Structure 1
Amino acid sequence: MPHHLMNLRHVPDDEADEIRALFEEHGVPYYETPPSRWGISMGGFWVHDNDEAARARALLEQYQLQRLHDQRKAYEERQARGESVGVAAMIRRHPLRTFAALIAIVVIVGVSLLPFVRLG
């Protein structure tokens, strides 16, 4: 019976590539199904054998802990350099684009709520 190891929905390409390399480096016989464009099927990495599933899950757990550590360190380094990715930083870096997006949001919300406002 197949064992689902990891969902591929919203997984960055570099992470999926690293996991493929990890499985191939350790000789894990896996197969992959892609996520659907419409979000109906999740896609993922799969194995058939129970023992291989346990080994692959252990490898994935180690990999994900290391990736978490690396990504957190990279984020903290960006924060230290002043390259934050918060709302205030986006407004400072791209004020016109942010203002245009805000106007678009207000227009969309206004058009969406217009029928309800007219009922009252």
Structure 2
Amino acid sequence: MAKLLFRLNGVDESEADEVRALLEEFDTYETHAGRWGLSVAAIWLKDEDAFDDARAVIDDYQQQRSERLQQEFSQQPIVPFWQRVQQRPADHIAVAIAIALVLALMVWPFTNW
């Protein structure tokens, strides 16, 4: 009987392609989420006896990917808030107006205007 090996729901396409390449030596098949995304999009292993080996390959890959992404993230500079406001002032003004409008609509029933 087939055994669920790797869920693909919410996984980047690049990661899914790398996992597919790693699992070429195993007998697997793939299911899709369907038109409305209600089913399980996953990679299934046909041979249950090879599950531990396949899972070890995926766990090792995910550990390496996690370390690589953490390293890439730590090398990116952190942009201060005011610098982001200076880069895109219209976006921040629009968000501030939207927040003020929502707050005004929430408070309006309680005022005596």
Task: Name the CA shift for 1:51/1:77 in 2 (closer, same or farther; >3 Å).
Answer: same
Counterpart of 2:36, as a letter, is W
Unaligned runs of 5+ in 1: none
Moved more, 59-68 or 101-110: 101-110
| TM-score normalised per structure 1 | 0.70
- 1:94 corresponds to which of 88, 91, 96: 88
Tell me how many residue pairs correspond in the alignment.
110
Tell me which structure has the larger Cα radius of gyration: 2
> What secondary structure does 2:44 align onto?
strand
**Per-residue Cα deviation, 1:68-102 (whole angstroms, up to 9, x for no partner):** 00010010011xxx2x478x375454332344355
The answer to which of 92-101 and 31-40 deviates more is 92-101
Give me the CA root mean square deviation: 3.0
Give the partner amino acid of 2:4. H
Q: Name 1:77's counterpart in structure 2.
A: 75
Instruction: Give the alignment partner of residue 46 of structure 1, picking from 44, 53, 59.
Output: 44
Q: What pairs up with 1:50-65 in 2 under 5 angstroms?
A: 50-65=48-63
Gaps of 5+ in 2: none
Given residue 94 of structure 2, which amino acid in structure 1 is its aligned partner?
A
Change (3 A) 1:45 1:85: farther
> Distance between the aligned counterparts of 1:10 and 1:37, measured in 2?
15
Provide the TM-score with structure 2 as the length reference: 0.74
Distance 1:6 1:85 in 2: 35
* Overall identity of the aligned pairs, in %: 32
The residue matched to 1:65 in structure 2 has which SS? helix
